[in-house]
């Protein structure tokens, strides 16, 4: 029976959750269960009965048509406030899962710094354990987030959803700035800490462990607050009324268009110059981690200045 329920869930994945669609789904599940038990009583095996039920009930459009419902009518309905709350909860969980997964991978690299000590076996065990946990968090969080996004994707937002998202975005801005600044600060601090610990210990690996540990925590903060902020921001306007289209650069002011075109080339040049002058190719890749959220912050500021 779980197979039938999962199949029905997949059919309704992109159908907005309303009282009417919930009732339709419950009716369909009841009909499919009754048919399943009829086939079992007729001598069919469990697998044969499940296969027959699924094959006989067709596509989602056919199922909804049988219940006098139209999928297109539902798709055009705006996102409800309770759906927005569910999405924000899922987005926060995804932000934590992705950030924690990356942090675990960084800590796994940090653990390798004690390989050449008496704790070598422990370091190797920690490395594989942390990598496994990190990858598991990333995959699990991504799958759940993808499912949550599917329920609201390509649907207009109701006015109360936009108002609530705007209020939450405003309330979260302080936490976003603090988290982003702290994360960038830790990523920058990781380099001098590495030098200090390397010089104070005969084993350079301690400095490397300090670098990955500190940078990992900084990366966690950057990604976590940025994803939550982005989750609120994307619900503050409808895409069909937004000016950010395929002609975005043509509609933007010259200063913003220039910034977008030159930003990443300048970051790349800065990366090579910094890496060459400091001979720190193993650490300088942090520039890209810092540059990504920093770009969003600068763009928000530039748009704000244009609207003044």
Contacts 24+ apart (CB under 8 A), 23-28: 24/63, 24/64, 24/67, 24/69, 27/67, 28/57, 28/63, 28/67
**Kind and range of the H or E element at 24?**
helix 19-41
Q: Are 284 and 278 in contact (CB under 8 A)?
A: yes
**Alpha-carbon distance 40 to 36, whole Å?**
6
**Alpha-carbon distance 298 to 143, whole Å?**
31
Among 14-18, 50-54, 237-241, 269-273, top mean pLDDT goes to: 50-54
Q: How confident is the model at residue 301 (pLDDT cuts 50, 70, 90)?
A: confident
What pTM, to 2 d.p., does this model score?
0.60
DSSP 157: B
**Alpha-carbon distance 90 to 84, whole Å?**
10
For 224-250, the DSSP string reads: HHHHHHHHHHTTSS-GGG-S-STTHHH
pLDDT digits (tens, 9 = 90+) for 177-228: 999 889 888 888 887 877 777 666 555 667 778 888 888 898 899 889 988 9
pLDDT digits (tens, 9 = 90+) for 11-26: 666 566 666 677 777 8
Angle between helices 159-200 and 205-233 (to 10 degrees): 170
pLDDT digits (tens, 9 = 90+) for 122-177: 878 888 898 899 899 988 888 888 888 877 877 788 888 899 999 999 999 999 99
**Alpha-carbon distance 209 to 111, whole Å?**
6
Predicted confidence (pLDDT) at residue 245 exceeds the cutoff of 50: no
How many CA atoms within 13 Å lie on the side-chain side of 217? 12
pLDDT reported for residue 5: 79
Q: How confident is the model at residue 241 (pLDDT cuts 50, 70, 90)?
A: very low
Residue ranges covered by each domain of the chain: 2-75, 81-242, 243-308
pLDDT digits (tens, 9 = 90+) for 56-113: 765 555 555 555 555 555 444 678 888 889 999 999 999 999 899 989 988 888 887 6
């Amino acid at each position: 029976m779980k197979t039938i329920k999962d199949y029905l869930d997949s059919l309704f994945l992109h159908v907005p959750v309303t009282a009417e669609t919930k009732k339709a789904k419950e009716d369909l599940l009841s009909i499919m269960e009754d048919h399943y038990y009829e086939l079992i009583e007729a001598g069919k095996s469990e697998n044969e009965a499940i296969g027959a039920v699924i094959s006989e009930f067709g596509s989602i459009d056919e199922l909804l048509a049988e219940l006098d419902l139209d999928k297109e009518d539902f798709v055009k309905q705006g996102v409800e406030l309770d759906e927005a709350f569910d999405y924000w909860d899922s987005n926060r969980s995804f932000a934590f899962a992705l950030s924690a997964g990356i942090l675990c991978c960084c800590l796994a690299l940090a653990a390798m710094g004690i390989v050449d000590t008496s704790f070598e076996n422990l370091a190797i065990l920690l490395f594989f354990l942390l990598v496994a946990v990190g990858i598991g968090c990333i995959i699990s969080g991504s799958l759940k987030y993808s499912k949550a996004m599917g329920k609201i994707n390509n649907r207009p937002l109701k006015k109360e959803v936009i108002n609530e998202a705007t209020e939450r975005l405003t309330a979260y801005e302080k936490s976003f700035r603090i988290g982003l600044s702290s994360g960038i600060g830790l990523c920058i601090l990781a380099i001098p800490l590495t030098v200090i610990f390397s010089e104070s210990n005969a084993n350079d690996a301690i400095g490397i462990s300090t670098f990955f540990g500190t940078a990992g925590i900084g990366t966690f903060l950057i990604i976590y607050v940025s994803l939550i902020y982005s989750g609120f921001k994307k619900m503050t306007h409808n895409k069909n009324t937004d000016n950010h289209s395929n002609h975005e650069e043509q509609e933007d002011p010259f200063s913003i268009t220039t910034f977008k075109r030159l930003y990443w080339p300048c970051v790349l040049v800065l990366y090579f110059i910094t890496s060459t002058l400091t001979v720190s190719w193993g650490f300088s890749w942090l520039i890209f981690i810092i540059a990504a959220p920093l770009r969003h912050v600068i763009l928000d500021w530039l748009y704000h200045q244009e609207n003044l």
